[in-house]
Amino acid sequence: MKFRDGMWLVAEGTTIEYAEQVYSITERADKKALSLLCPTRRISNRGDVLNRSTLTIDIEAVSDGIISVESTHWAGAVRKGPNFELFPDSAPEVEATITTASERTILSAGALTATVAGASQPFRIDFKGANGRVLTDLRERSVGLAYNPPISNMQQTGDMRNIQHHVFTQTTLGVGESVHGLGERFGPFNKVGQAVQLWNADGGTSSDQAYKNVSFWMSSRGYGVFIDTPEKVELEIGSERCCRLQTSVEGQRLKWFIIDGPTPKDVLRRYAKLTGQASSVPEWSYGLWLSTSFTTDYDEKTVTAFLEGMKKAAIPVDVFHFDCFWLKAFQWCDFAFDKEKFPDPAGQIKRMKDSGLCKKVSVWTNPYLGQASPLFAEAAANGYLLKRKNGDVFQWDLWQAGMAIVDFTNPAARTWFQGMITSLLDIGIDSIKTDFGERIPAEDVVWHDGSDPGRMHNYYSVLYNETVYAAMTERFGKGEAVLFARAAAAGSQRFPLQWGGDCESTPEAMAESLRGGLGFGLSGFAFWSVDIGGFEGNPPPWLYKRWVAFGLLCSHSRLHGSDSVRVPWAIDNDDQSDEGATAVLRTFVQIKAKLGAYIQAEAAKSVRDGLPLSLRAMCIEFPNDPTSWSLDRQFMLGSSLIVAPVFEEDGSVEFYLPEGRWTSFISGEVKEGPRWIKEVHRLDSVPLYVREGTVLPLRAEGGEISLKAYGIKAGEVGKVEEIVEGALKEREVTVDEAMLALKKTEVNVDEAALAPKEEEVTVDEATLAPKEKEVTVDEAVLA
């Protein structure tokens, strides 16, 4: 929201008051916090303290590398929930100090410092990170409050019912600084120049709306900011004042945390501690998911035909997904298969699994109840549904006729809903697609626990997915539950996974989705997926095949559409050539399976460190390369693989390789960076490059794992042993029974890396261990 008209004028219809001076500073007794009293005019005599507003700015050392800043106008405002759960795993210790010198007061949280100017100086708070790096600051006229419509005297604020009140801060954007994250946003990767509203909405992927608004952003200067409120937040990112990032909320308080790096990995690791680390997902979830699509007509016979067709094509399906119409029309959601289409769901699911047609089964659901649902009357009578202020159940005809919303602030409603989920698990369902959760009303509603409707709008997605995830974790165990969710907010990373929502079947929408995935990964989420081929429309065969390459190199991969199916033979009239849709899909399913051990290993590190597995923005791995902060058409899969999807029908693609030697995983060709590369790829190929110094665990069809080294030169084979031993300690290599003795493992060094080429370099038992000694991986490593 803009409060000014250019640099000199206040916006029409607005009154603004700024913190002009730090009048006094109070140290908290534990020496971990400062409270600043900041009047909105400079105080030169006693009379100046009258008829004047103040802002209280509380600064606290929260954790090493994290400082919170909270600006408050009227402290008596009721603090309604919900609130983000901070440090859900445990509150950390912090090494905090307060020092005062030369009219400056410095609060430190480890190496991160906040320096406050004294009363005789203009208002200013400077933030510096490790090694004295300048991060950002709050300068003159950067913290304030605003009234809309404008007020002419303070007496008018006696009745605030028709007056909007905002508080805001403006942190400085440095020269060349870029800003990234804020959830799954589909516009430009760098948010500088944009006005962003954090308000979950079901708007597809071609607008400024987002399903997943996450109040966290990352700066190219090596710090991040988490805005600690689930309510609507409006940001002007260099779009009101070009040199400032303004954050505003309607209310009396605004709190955010500045998180030091110096690297993006450091920032994300600290952010994960603050809001919760992602949970692990089961191994089978990384395979191919096949959906019925949304409005297509299907029954048991259709499902069986899809799966048998995939088996005939030698394309294994790990998860089969039943989308909306497994339920009877108008009865969403009643958690019961449509008996006309699926007379024996439990039996059907068992047959699907027993015959090897798929490993697991997923079904679609949402947190709404249409009036025709057999469960509606029960839920309404028991108080499980959101109500209007007059006591009526909240209903509208958007999506489902007479639709109501489950009130997850009611513990009894949560237990009831979890019982419905458990009933699905009882018949063999393994995963739940938790769709919707964005269009949650913020006016004329009352939540069971008294939560503020404006704050609940975004936070509802957290409650909804937490409820379902808890039921599944109770059944399957920690790390074995997995959702397929659309809506999210800060903290939702604990309940994986999420997918990118409704994209069109166009190359532009594929690029939009990629940008959304990059921003989402920079917001603390480890796992992400996309509807391969696009959701809306019918993808032309060339685009489907290019999207297959993109989608199979995301952390999770699902074929899904709206009113058209995504089985490959339906895309190109069952073209049986080596560049037909069936062959292309088979190729990339095989590539992902071959990389399975690597993906699992990188997933474990991603969960541990708060990193995205895929899509991982290039700047996470190469923060010192300025080009990496602008790359929005390529990504990393884990720490060692670059993926550059192809968006052109002729197969042409341009991408960037950072410094070092890079080897094509598909062709074996070696290229040097840093430089831009132009290539033309067949439909069954994509730029997929391996980082120098990588030892990839590769899984063969039979399950055996071998390790292949990239960029290891002759005479440097000892590095392989070091990498492998370190990898095992870090659980980077998934080890099965065939690898219980390291002497059975052969590590091949790519010929392109050898000098001279005639010298074959392998790592055998003599390299890995004395010949007479067998090295095994014990249970402690495997656990």
List, by residue number, the catalytic residues.
Answer: 435, 438, 502
| Whole-angstrom distance, CA of residue 697 vs CA of residue 687 | 20
Given a contact cutoff of 8 angstroms between Cβ atoms, the answer to whether 367 and 464 are in contact is yes
- Please state the three-class secondary structure of 663-705 as a single string: EECCCCCEEEEEEEEEEECCCCCCCEEEECCEEEEEECCCCCE
Compute the C-alpha angle 16/20/22, nearest 5°.
135
What phi and psi, each to the nearest 5 degrees, are found at residue 453?
Answer: -60, -35
Count CA atoms closer than 13 A to 561's CA, side-chain side: 20
Given a contact cutoff of 8 angstroms between Cβ atoms, the answer to whether 145 and 166 are in contact is yes
Given a contact cutoff of 8 angstroms between Cβ atoms, the answer to whether 215 and 185 are in contact is no
- The CB density around residue 508, as the number of other CB atoms within 10 Å, is 13
What phi and psi, each to the nearest 5 degrees, are found at residue 604?
Answer: -60, -40
Question: Where would I find the H helices in 371-482?
Answer: 376-381, 411-426, 453-476
Given a contact cutoff of 8 angstroms between Cβ atoms, the answer to whether 504 and 537 are in contact is yes
Question: Reduced to 3 states, what is the DSSP secondary structure of residue 122?
Answer: coil
Given a contact cutoff of 8 angstroms between Cβ atoms, the answer to whether 645 and 515 are in contact is no
Q: State the maximum Cα–Cα separation within the chain, in Å, rounded to a whole number.
A: 90
Do strands 531-532 and 557-559 pair parallel, antiparallel, or not at all (unpaired)?
parallel
Orientation of helix 453-476 relative to helix 411-426, angle to 10°: 40
Question: Reduced to 3 states, what is the DSSP secondary structure of residue 384?
Answer: coil
- Please state the three-class secondary structure of 713-753 as a single string: CCCCCHHHHHHHHHHHHCCCCCCCHHHCEHHHCCEEECHHH
**Residue 568 is encoded by which pair of tokens?**
């490959």
**Residue 149 is encoded by which pair of tokens?**
């419509």
Which residues neighbour 766 within 8 Å (Cβ) at sequence distance 6 or greater? none
| Whole-angstrom distance, CA of residue 622 vs CA of residue 316 | 35
Question: Reduced to 3 states, what is the DSSP secondary structure of residue 763?
Answer: strand
**Residue 697 is encoded by which pair of tokens?**
């665990």
Helix (H) / strand (E) element for 286: namely none
Partners of 558 in beta bridges: 289, 531
| Whole-angstrom distance, CA of residue 523 vs CA of residue 224 | 10
Beta strands in 724-766 (DSSP E): 747-749, 762-763
Could you tell me the CA-to-CA distances from 498 to 211, 278, 483 in Å, in that order? 10, 12, 7
Could you tell me the CA-to-CA distances from 75 to 20, 56, 78, 153 in Å, in that order? 19, 9, 8, 20
Exposed/middle/buried for residue 350 (C-beta within 10 Å: 0-12, 13-18, 19+): middle
Which residues neighbour 725 within 8 Å (Cβ) at sequence distance 6 or greater? none
Given a contact cutoff of 8 angstroms between Cβ atoms, the answer to whether 224 and 40 are in contact is no
Which residues neighbour 469 within 8 Å (Cβ) at sequence distance 6 or greater? 279, 481, 483, 494, 495
Do strands 705-710 and 747-749 pair parallel, antiparallel, or not at all (unpaired)?
parallel
